[in-house]
Structure 1
Amino acid sequence: MTVYAIIGGSGLTRLEGLDIRQSLAVDTPYGAPSAEVQIGEYAGKEVLFLARHGHPHRIPPHRVNYRANLWALKQAGAEAILAVNAVGGIHPAMVTGHFCVPHQLIDYTSGREHTCFADNLEQVTHIDFSNPYSEPLRQQLIAALAAEGVGYSGQGVYACTQGPRLETAAEIARLERDGCDIVGMTGMPEAALARELELDYACLALVVNPAAGKSAAVISMAEIEQALRDGMGKVTSTLARVLKG
């Protein structure tokens, strides 16, 4: 039976309903993870949970210790990662409250520690990252969203930007020309590190705002926070369906 781990993003620093049996402070070669790894029962299954930005939400996207987070989950016994991400919508279908299970990504970040294959190697190591997400895990998320009856897209290209600032309208126009459908700040190097550690990985993205230039309105953090509050119940019920199989 697959051991799932959930990485909670903005709006999901705690997994309501998780019957926590143990909280692990995992020592990693890369320092401390964002938070303790919580192990418990959720939707009738054993699950691991880690808050990407810490609890409370305090670590900005460019300061998250992604290597420590993924290493800690692997050490705690995770085999598959369900990553929850809050994103901006670029494609017209990606309206606030819409879900996307991306099938591709483009990395626009810089300066992040992005690989475990850096030091003291016996040989140079490369991974095949042609398809960055686990297709079986993506299909499980898609089936769960369909069963929930929510608006979703079963594919999309995730643009990962550096943050913590939001993008300019010109930058979003560039991302759109590049073929990106949604934009966030935490999709990389998380996905690549999961591949290096041989962990299945898929992303459940919740659109919380139109990207810059996609609406006449000013992007409001209050509106983003409201969209997170409105969407988290659907996020957790979707995750529960995946775990129940």
Structure 2
Amino acid sequence: MRAEIAVIGGSGFYEISNVQMRKFDIKTPYGIVIGVRIGEIGGKKIAFLARHGESHSIPPHRVNYRANIWALHSIGVERILATSACGAINRRFKPGDFILVTQFLDFTKSRPSTFFEGGKSGVAHIDVSEPFCPQLRKVVKSVAENLGFKIREGGVYACMEGPRFETPAEIRALEKLGADMVGMTLVPECVLARELGICYSSVAIITNYAAGISRNILTHSEVLEMMKKKNEEIKKIFLSAIQKLPGERNCSCPKSVEIFGHSSKNSS
């Protein structure tokens, strides 16, 4: 049971079709991860994990992010491609757009956000100046454009606690802080991946306009409807990216924490 690349599917993205995969449950120090699928694409072993569960039974604030990332790390995953359904704050973004996220704002409240809790696990202060792997982003952008899909590189993702949608006042505040889009899942997922030296890149799918920008009442069915429309496109992008990824990682992601489980030399 090994894989080198993983896909984490968000809302509306629950499987990779046309790829034969076996399902496994993986035990971790943080709990059991149910239904990790493992298969092969172009000679590369891949894993697929539905972030919210196969039937979307786990809300964003209850996702066991540490167990998910640890499970993928334990089977050898070095790269993660993820999706995230988002509401547009930036007026230049519109429903259906693909955005390669480059920065985040973290407004989560109650989620365990690190593997380094002190004691035996040690203490580490990782650098997230570039939280999303530049090598992965470059490959994803290239293959998307070659497939004829428009994709924007560059966007600030505001991660909220959820599961409720935001108020118009919150969206106005986020806009002033520089947020381009809003969602509920990328943090701490991308941070935990970085702590384990895993390359991580997310394609945000704009599913709707955020509260106060949209003229409609926000619903999750609206999100799922747009994801259904874009599902095949994002799958084509990811499957093509997986096959185009070079064997060697030339980014700094693996060096984020030099020795896992040891205190950072610079911690104080």
Report if TM-score (shorter chain) is over 0.5.
yes
Deviation per CA, 1:122-149, whole angstroms, max 9, x where unpaired? 7422111111111101111111221222
Q: Which sections of structure 1, spanning at least 5 residues, go unmatched? A: none
Inter-CA distance 62–220: structure 2 relative to 1 (3 Å threshold):
closer
Q: Which sections of structure 2, spanning at least 5 residues, go unmatched? A: 245-268
SS at match of 1:129: coil
Question: 2:27 maps to what in 1?
Answer: 27
Question: 2:223 maps to what in 1?
Answer: 224
Question: 2:85 maps to what in 1?
Answer: 86
CA contact (8 A) 1:17 1:42 kept: no
Q: Provide the rounded CA distance (Å) in 2 between the counterparts of 1:41 and 1:6.
A: 12
The code of the aligned residue for 1:24 comes to F
Q: CA deviation at 1:3?
A: 1.9
CA contact (8 A) 1:32 1:65 kept: no
The code of the aligned residue for 2:123 comes to V
Q: Provide the rounded CA distance (Å) in 1 between the counterparts of 2:71 and 2:226.
A: 30
CA contact (8 A) 1:88 1:182 kept: yes
CA contact (8 A) 2:85 2:223 kept: no
Question: 2:253 maps to what in 1?
Answer: none
CA contact (8 A) 2:168 2:212 kept: yes
Q: Provide the rounded CA distance (Å) in 2 between the counterparts of 1:244 and 1:46.
A: 11
Q: CA deviation at 1:43?
A: 5.5
Deviation per CA, 1:30-51, whole angstroms, max 9, x where unpaired? 1122x32211023553211111
Aligned ranges 1:42-121 → 2 under 5 Å:
42=41, 45-121=44-120
Q: Provide the rounded CA distance (Å) in 2 between the counterparts of 1:52 and 1:192.
A: 15
| Mean CA deviation greater in 9-18 or 183-192 | 9-18
Q: Provide the rounded CA distance (Å) in 2 between the counterparts of 1:231 and 1:191.
A: 23
Inter-CA distance 229–121: structure 2 relative to 1 (3 Å threshold):
same
Aligned ranges 1:147-158 → 2 under 5 Å:
147-158=146-157
Q: Provide the rounded CA distance (Å) in 2 between the counterparts of 1:227 and 1:42.
A: 27
Question: 1:6 maps to what in 2?
Answer: 7
Inter-CA distance 224–64: structure 2 relative to 1 (3 Å threshold):
same
CA contact (8 A) 1:43 1:240 kept: no
The code of the aligned residue for 1:11 comes to G
Q: Provide the rounded CA distance (Å) in 2 between the counterparts of 1:44 and 1:205.
A: 27
CA contact (8 A) 1:67 1:193 kept: yes
Deviation per CA, 1:147-194, whole angstroms, max 9, x where unpaired? 222232111001100000010111011111110111110000001000
The code of the aligned residue for 1:102 comes to V
Count of paired positions: 242
Question: 2:174 maps to what in 1?
Answer: 175
The code of the aligned residue for 1:86 comes to A
The code of the aligned residue for 2:191 comes to A
Q: Provide the rounded CA distance (Å) in 1 between the counterparts of 2:91 and 2:128.
A: 28
SS at match of 1:100: strand
Does 1:18 pair with 2:47? no
| Mean CA deviation greater in 23-32 or 165-174 | 23-32
Q: Provide the rounded CA distance (Å) in 1 between the counterparts of 2:85 and 2:194.
A: 21
Q: Provide the rounded CA distance (Å) in 1 between the counterparts of 2:26 and 2:209.
A: 37
Q: Provide the rounded CA distance (Å) in 2 between the counterparts of 1:30 and 1:10.
A: 23
The code of the aligned residue for 1:221 comes to H
Q: Provide the rounded CA distance (Å) in 2 between the counterparts of 1:197 and 1:123.
A: 13
- Normalised to the residue count of structure 1, the TM-score between the two structures is 0.94
State the identity %. Answer: 40
The code of the aligned residue for 1:10 comes to S
SS at match of 1:106: strand
Does 1:185 pair with 2:156? no
Q: Provide the rounded CA distance (Å) in 1 between the counterparts of 2:154 and 2:221.
A: 28
The code of the aligned residue for 1:210 comes to Y
What is the root-mean-square deviation of aligned Cα atoms in Å? 1.5
